[in-house]
């Protein structure tokens, strides 16, 4: 991560932008492993856990799966008709 952020800041970051921030998402990691891996990292950081409720929220906001499939297929049919 450190190397990636360094290259990103050197090669892509614009002069008016703040330094890049890296986010590492882990499905499972114990405290000892995290402490060992990050022990020599000198920049400020935060380590936290959270519950991912995104899938549930998306299911509440999006139309049913079948409606989305039908929409995609009808769009494909419309595109085919335009080609003719």
Q: What is the pLDDT of residues 44-64, one digit of tens each?
A: 777 677 667 777 787 888 888
| pLDDT tens, position by position, 5-41 | 889 999 999 999 998 888 776 667 777 877 787 787 7
Domain boundaries, the chain: 1-50, 51-84
Separation CA 52–CA 36 (nearest Å): 25
- pTM listed for this prediction: 0.42
Q: Which tokens belong to 57? A: 């929220």
Residue whose structure tokens are 């079948």: 66
């Amino acid at each position: 991560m450190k190397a990636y952020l360094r290259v990103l800041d050197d090669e892509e970051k614009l002069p008016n932008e703040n330094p890049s921030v890296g986010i590492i998402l882990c499905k499972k990691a114990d405290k000892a492993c995290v402490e060992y891996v990050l022990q020599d990292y000198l920049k400020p950081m935060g380590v936290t856990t959270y519950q991912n409720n995104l899938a549930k929220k998306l299911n509440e906001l999006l139309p049913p799966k079948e409606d989305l499939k039908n929409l995609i297929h009808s769009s494909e049919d419309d595109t085919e008709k335009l080609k003719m």
